[in-house]
Structures are given as structure tokens and as C-alpha cells.
Structure 1
């Protein structure tokens, strides 16, 4: 018998209250249970959906704190660095990712740099060609030099070879940090960026059309053959270019940095004959790897070094002043070596006897007086860089700007190496 018939038997046909009570279970209780089950199911799905995210956020929070804590440690560590911290706007290494074998290198160097970046990538360069070796470029087993185009300008790429060790990578990146920390100056070559995320790593510098001053002076010894741009040097040009180099030296000294390698090989020349001081490797090594006072690394630098440097005594800015006087001698002689008739090993004794540079035939008395004011045996008697700048600016106003300096013959490389005191015929790096 059906339920409807049962209900009809229990309740009168017109008794609606009785009929409602009899159908309560089917009409109210069962749908309520179904609705409750649906709500429980939805709540379960909701918890499964959002609880994992909550757990992940709880795990991530300590990592974020740790990262912030490490950042604070890096900031507090900056004052203990041996190198020069980079200024705002330069950070070659932001977001750096290196192989595990050199991960420590990346961590050490990154702490020396600020948070903005000039990071470059390999696809930023075009027309990349190897830079031809000249006298002014010393071969380096870890670094090679290339010319390239970047942002519609010529640049020089200092490329770290892929076979470089972790320590060589550390030194390469530290040098980039050192150069960027010096900041910008009109007579220092501009650091344009660093490639550090990709291998090989690169330091990107502006290219100056005439490259090193020594090679430029050698081309000026005779009339241009038409193969090279004209490079006429006058006494007035010497005053102007020398003042630019002196300005760069004054800036470095203001940074507490002694150059230690001033010479024509360490000056770069632009197409408009702007002179920019480079050759900062010695300054970098002296700043980051302090050694005994007065120590210099290369025997071929002897004829440019002040007496106190030759005697391995304390180096000071006046030591750069002596070398600057030798640079003036190189410029006015169009690249002759100083003390040509004296062996490098005998130079100290030669100077102790009171001997000094002889005035070149093409050098005016006013210009040579600046040379002698820089090259006093007693460093206390040498002119300071600001005094030298004033003398050069005063001399420029009355200098001969018409007569082009010439030399009777081109340079003889073998003879130059012998007279300059180089131990063997290899080149000296300026980049």
C-alpha cells in the first residue's frame, strides 16, 4: 500500500494540519539534511583551496625576513670594504646569478654596490671585433679587448675569458666596482656598463678615437701618410692636454687615490684631442691589495717613477707629480723615452748625483720650467697639482699654437724598448 493511501486512512480528507504533520519528514527534514551536506562539502573544498596558500605564506615570511636581514648586513658591511663604493647610478651586478662555483664571488662583490644598475647584455653590442694589439696594450691571459658598437657609439669591451678562475672573476668584478666608485670626471674614460649576468663577463668603456697618447705621439713624429687621422701637435696643444690630465690627477688625489702609473701610455686621446687619464690598474691594486710602501710591480715603469718610489719609500701625491713631469717630456719630444742614455737599474744613482732631464730642442723655456718644477729630487720642493694646473693654464695663453712639432725620424720600437728600460718586447695595458 502506498504512503498516500496510508495518509488518507489516518487523516480525514479535509484535515490539512494532519496531512502536513504526516509529510514533514519527506518535505522538510530530508531537504534540510541535503542542504546541510552541501554546505559541509563547500566548506571542505574552500579549506582545501586556501589552506595551502596560507601555509606557503607562513613559510615564505621567514625567508623574506632573512633576505632583509642579509641586506641590512650588506649595508653595514659597506664601511669595511677596501675598495671604493660605487656611486648612485652604477651597479653592474644587480640580480646577478653565477654558477655555484663562483657564487661566493658574486656575494662578495654585490655587497660593494648600490641598488640601481647599468647591467648590459650581450645582445646590446654589434660589430664586435678584436682590438689589434699595439705597444700600449699588454697581453693578459685572463682578459681580452674588443671594439664594438653600443647605443650608436663606439665602445671598448674588456672581456673576461670563460676559462677564468673564481679568483680572476672576483678581481675582474672588483675592478669594475673600483672604477665605478671613482665616479664621473670629464678627463677620465667613462664606464658605460658591465655584463655580469652572462658569460663571458665584460666591462664596457667609451672608446677614444686616437687611443693611447704614446702611439698618437709616434704618429705625429712625421707628416700624416693619409692612413691615419692628422695628429698635429703644437706647444699650445701640449698645454691644453696636459692641463686635462692634471685635472684628472687632482680629482683622483681628492678621492684619496694615487695613480702610480702616469705616462703617455696611460693617457687616452679623443678625436677632438681631449686627453683622459687611464691605466688605473696600479691604483686599483694599491687600494685593494696594500703592499710595502713604495713598491711598484713592473720594472719597465722605473724611468717614470719618483726617487722615493725607486727607493721603496712612502708614496704620496707628489710621486704622481714627478711622473707628470716625465709625461710633459714625452709630449714635447713626441714620444721619446726619458733618461734614454741611462740604464733603468742605474737611474737611482744617476738622480742621486744631482742629474736631471735635459731640455729637449723643441721645448720652450716656459714649458721646461714646469717639467723641472715637477721633477725635484726633494718631493717637498715639487709643485703641487693645483700649482701645476695654474702654470699650464697661464702658459696656454702665450703658447705657440701655429708651429707643428715634428721629429726627424719615426720611432724605432727596439731602440725605444731598450732606452725606456723595458726588459722584453711586450706591451703595457691601458684598458
Structure 2
């Protein structure tokens, strides 16, 4: 008799449970083990296939940075298309020991070896080597007024380029972190322009949060103008200002301001302190802190009151809000600063007296050795009625014409070096301080 017949005889004909027990090993357990083994094998193959890619930093678009507390304007959303020109990278370990500071960026590999990738304000970007930044040194503050205690500034080399690192301090609170990342997002949204400092990227994946911007050798225009006061006779010195150079640099700034206005953005902090100067004396517009705060603040009056009043248009002094025409007024004050090699405007007045002074029809005094064409542009920018001031596009044309006919040989001189303490008093510096030196 076969074995099957023997097993069947052990169970009663109607005992189904007995028959299941007799055959469970062959019918249930073995197929189950085979199925489990197949699933484990398939899972192992999937992990081997996809694990290496998960370990690589992933790049996301800048739009991924979207804190709920940030109000992004329509202009800012429209400008996202420019972010494709920027490059981003993960925070290099070499930055961790630094004490920290203030400026825009995300790091990338040496420029020649890296393909352009979108900047990542809230995610990682490409890998970064320890030697990404070299020759890192603290950037001295040249203007001793109320520094930003939340950030630290450093000068460094990134590949073959000189850059400035603005690093958020580890002691920064949540509000300061939000402001830092929000400002970085705002600046990156402005997009590239030849007369705006190049934003190299923003490190925001992990502390220390860092912005990286190209370094401009002569730093702020105000300090450059003060150096032009020195006697450089007989020397080949870059610290020389002619009227033709005033027109050239002013045209460059006007071009950047016109670009800003085309994005429905008001600068709100125009002045020599907010202009940076490169090694070839190209002027680039910076100092966007006020413009960013305006996007975060419902009351424009609360923003403008923080800035230097002697650069503000009458309507801003009267708390009627800033407009693009208000930037044009401040641009006229900038031209005055350039023509006087860094004198404070309305130096004979207290800031609280300025509005009444202007209401009486008074104007800026004419700088010594200022040509009729340059003085005419200053007067047109500083018209009481905003509608009578030129547009930024009109300004560019006037400055171009002045540049073509201006004196490019006679070097401007000032009677004496700048006295910092007197300048601070005459410029009306108080608690509101927004100096944009890099």
C-alpha cells in the first residue's frame, strides 16, 4: 500500500482538520517560505539600485523656500525666473569654526568645474569641498556706526574669485534667522544685472547660514569719495574723481535703479553708502535692506522713518509713503555726494528742520566746480513735485549725454579730509542706521 493511502487511513473519512494537519507542511508552509524569500530578494535589489542616489545632495528650486510668515509680493514671484542663473551648494564644513556675519549666498565648486544649477534656499545643492573658501579673514567695518549684531562679514577666496561671506551668527534668534533667509530669497529673486553685485548663492541647508557675494575692491562709494579727497598728485592712483566719471558711475547706478523699478520695487535707501565700487571703478547698486523690509511691512511709514532723513524726498518726510519718484529724489542727493566728494547733504540743517526748509522752496546748495549740466540734473531730481522729476529711463539718457561732453581730465578736489564725527552729526545719523558696506 502507498504512503498516501497509509496517511489517509490515519484519519477518519469525515475528519477534514486531521487531513489539513497531515498536509500543512507541503501545501502551506513551504509555499509561504518561498514567497517570503522572493519578496526579500526583490527588496534587496531595489535598495541596491536606489540607495546611492539617495545619499547624494538633492537640488530643489528656490521656490521651495516659502516660510508661512513671509509675504511674497507678485513682483517677487514674477522674478523667480531669474534664479536659474544662480548657483547653489551645501554648507562647507570649513565655515563652521567661523564666528559669523552679514551678506548673500550658497556655495558652489570652483566656477570652472561646476555646471550652473538653481540656487537652493531651503534644500541642499552640490557637494562642497573643505577648501571651497580660502584666505578667510574678517572684513573690517570702515564706518563705525551700529553694526548688525546678528551677522559677521568675512573676505575670502572662492576658487579664483574674491567674495564676501555674510554669515548668520549661531546666537541669532528665530526672527533673525527668518529675516536672513527672507532677505536672501528677496535678493536672489532680483536676478542678475551688470550693475548689481553678483549673488553667488545662499547656504541655507544647515548652520551657519551664509550669503556669498562678489567682492568689490573699493567697497562703498562713500568711502571711495573720501579717499578721493587725499592728495594723490604725482601718483598713479585709482582714487581720482572727475566729472566725467561722476556721469559714468551715476549712469550705471541709474541703470540698476531702472531695472529695480521695472520689477515694481522701490529701493528706498539710495545714497553713496549703498553703492559699491569695483576694481575698474564700476558702480553697483546695493543696500536692499529697506526694499526687503517694505515687502514684509504693511506700513511704509514705519519703514521709511528708520532711514536717514536727509536723503528722503519731501513726501516721505511727510509720511505720505515712498514711490519710484522718491528714489529719483534720493538719486539727486547721491549726485550731490559725488560732486562734493562725500559731503553730507543739507549739512547746515538739523534733520528735523529739513521738511520746513524744503517747503519754503529752498534747495541743495550748488557744489563748487559743478558744471551747469550736472547741476541741472541734480535740480531736476530734487523737484518738490514728484511728477516734475524725471523717470529713471529719462535719467539714463541725460547722464549719457552729460558723460559724452563732460570734463574727463580735471580731477575734483575737496578743501580738507573728511571729519568722521562732524559728518555723522551733519548727516543726521541717529538710531536708524542702514549702512550697506560689504
Measured against the shorter chain, the TM-score band is 0.7 to 0.9
Give how far 1:74 is off. 6.9
1:81 counterpart residue number:
72
Give how far 1:114 is off. 9.8
2:173 paired with 1:182: no
Give how far 1:193 is off. 1.2
Q: Of 297, 309, 321, which residue of structure 2 is paired with 1:289?
A: 297
2:38 paired with 1:47: no
Q: Of 313, 317, 340, which residue of structure 2 is paired with 1:310?
A: 317
Give how far 1:164 is off. 1.1
Distance 1:424 1:291, change over 3 A: closer
Q: Of 274, 280, 285, which residue of structure 1 is paired with 2:282?
A: 274
C-alpha distance in 1, partners of 2:261/2:352? 29
Give how far 1:51 is off. 3.5
Maintained 8 Å contact 1:192/1:206: yes
Distance 1:366 1:118, change over 3 A: farther
1:338 counterpart residue number:
345
Distance 1:240 1:113, change over 3 A: same
Q: TM-score, normalised by structure 1?
A: 0.76
Give how far 1:111 is off. 13
Maintained 8 Å contact 1:135/1:427: no
C-alpha distance in 1, partners of 2:398/2:335? 13
C-alpha distance in 1, partners of 2:122/2:170? 26
Structure 1 unaligned blocks of 5 or more: 1-21, 26-36, 58-70, 96-109
C-alpha distance in 2, partners of 1:207/1:416? 26
With 86-95 and 373-382 compared, the bigger mean Cα shift is at: 86-95
Maintained 8 Å contact 1:264/1:327: yes
Distance 1:348 1:387, change over 3 A: same
With 218-227 and 332-341 compared, the bigger mean Cα shift is at: 218-227
Distance 1:244 1:89, change over 3 A: closer
1:139 counterpart residue number:
147
2:113 counterpart residue number:
none
Distance 1:226 1:150, change over 3 A: farther
Aligned residues: 370
C-alpha distance in 1, partners of 2:180/2:335? 32
C-alpha distance in 2, partners of 1:119/1:324? 42
C-alpha distance in 1, partners of 2:71/2:421? 47
C-alpha distance in 1, partners of 2:32/2:337? 87
Larger Rg: 1
Distance 1:282 1:121, change over 3 A: farther
With 392-401 and 115-124 compared, the bigger mean Cα shift is at: 115-124
| 1:376-395 equivalence runs, <5 A | 376-395=383-402
Q: TM-score, normalised by structure 2?
A: 0.75
With 332-341 and 85-94 compared, the bigger mean Cα shift is at: 85-94
Describe the superposition over 1:245-275 as per-residue Cα deviations: whole angstroms up to 9, x where unpaired.
0000000000010000000000000010000
Maintained 8 Å contact 2:90/2:128: no
Distance 1:114 1:427, change over 3 A: closer
Give how far 1:429 is off. 3.4
Describe the superposition over 1:4-55 as per-residue Cα deviations: whole angstroms up to 9, x where unpaired.
xxxxxxxxxxxxxxxxxx9x98xxxxxxxxxxx8998874443222346889
Describe the superposition over 1:333-380 as per-residue Cα deviations: whole angstroms up to 9, x where unpaired.
000000010111100111011100111112111100000000001111
C-alpha distance in 2, partners of 1:395/1:312? 34
1:219 counterpart residue number:
227
Distance 1:379 1:331, change over 3 A: same
Q: Of 205, 216, 237, which residue of structure 2 is paired with 1:208?
A: 216
Q: CA RMSD in A?
A: 3.7
Distance 1:172 1:77, change over 3 A: closer
1:130 counterpart residue number:
138
C-alpha distance in 2, partners of 1:382/1:208? 31
Q: Of 165, 174, 197, which residue of structure 1 is paired with 2:173?
A: 165
Distance 1:341 1:319, change over 3 A: same
Tell me the secondary structure at the aligned position of residue 240 of structure 2.
coil
Maintained 8 Å contact 2:294/2:300: no
Maintained 8 Å contact 1:337/1:419: yes
Q: Of 409, 414, 425, which residue of structure 2 is paired with 1:418?
A: 425
Maintained 8 Å contact 1:193/1:203: yes
